[in-house]
Amino acid sequence: MTTKERRMKQDMLFRWCCRIVTFMALGVLLVLLSHIFSQGFKWLSWDFINSYPSRFADQAGIKSAVWGSIWVISFTAIFSVPFGVATAFFLEEYSNSNSKFVRLLQINIANLAGMPSIIYGLLGLTLFARGIGLGGSVLTGSLTLSLLILPVIVIASQEAIKAVPNSIRYGAYAMGARKWQVIVGQVLPAALPGIMTGVILSLSRAIGETAPLIIIGALSYVAFTPLGPFDDFTVLPVQIYNWAGRPQEEFHEIASAGIIVLLAVLFTMNLVAIMIRQKFQKYRM
């Protein structure tokens, strides 16, 4: 076999390895989805989405969990996005990246991004639920989830800010701009698509979190929708977890229906975020 033939073989081998691995992952996903849809699809109806949970399978609905998730995720976004993006701007544009303090901060943020979520649940329980007495409310849940996703938002935003070339900053300074004008007028819009990607990913993670919310005391049987940030709540994954843990076979199927609803909510969120991103990407090449 000549060298050329061998190298062509290697090339083909590598290509096939990549292909097989990709399809294996896709295959697993497909099996998972088909299982969920075959179990849950028949339970999906407007009544299911618009009813409160019940101990009778045929009356059980997911209304309180859908609204709970919407409340919690909205407040999570309100808390985490401004704080995360502002932190990223401070670290990238204002702080001296060579200082020991800033480097320590960076390492800590990176470590926090990898912390198990249940630890955030314990923190939320001590700090928000008991410490300032918010109990198992929407606020406690969203503050806890905000802490959980804050490091990811900070890191993703930092990367997006770093990707904005300095030539744009200098161009803006040369127009007599002040630093805040350079940041707000040039760097932020240029970095926004990247920041949005980080925000989408972390909010998607937050909407699927179960453990920290169970710890802070999210209820599993809620026969009402939250009317304000101080109300008790449940969220989709907690409701699904609860159904899946019941002995009756019907409730396992209802859990699958709940997963379909969760996927739909996630899909809608991502779609909206992608649309926002597209709008700002208009001026990129």
Partner 1 sequence: MSKPIIQVKDLSIFYGEKKAINSVNVSFSEKQVTAVIGPSGCGKSTLLRSLNRMNDFVENLRVEGEVLYKDQNIYAPKIDSADIRRQIGMVFQKPNPFPKSIYKNITWGPQINGYDFDPDALVEKCLKRAALWDEVKDRLDDSALALSGGQQQRLCIARAIAMNPEVILMDEPCSALDPKATSRIEDLILDLRNRYTIIIVTHNMQQAARISDETAFFFDGDLIEFGDTKEIFTNPVEEKTEDYITGRFG
Which parts of this chain interact with partner 1 (CB under 8 A)? Answer: 165, 167-178, 181, 185-186, 189-190, 282-285
Question: With respect to partner 1, which residue has the nearer C-beta, 65 or 172?
Answer: 172
**194, two tokens:** 């990247």
**234, two tokens:** 């449940």
Instruction: Determine the Cα–Cα distance for residues 12 and 15; give it in Å rounded to an integer.
Output: 5
**Amino acid letter for position 279:** K
The single residue listed with the structure tokens 């995720």 is 73
Instruction: Determine the Cα–Cα distance for residues 172 and 99; give it in Å rounded to an integer.
Output: 27
Cβ 79 vs Cβ 143: under 8 Å:
yes
Radius of gyration of the chain (CA): 23
Beta-ladder partners of 137: 232
Exposed, middle or buried, 207 (CB in 10 Å: 0-12/13-18/19+)?
buried
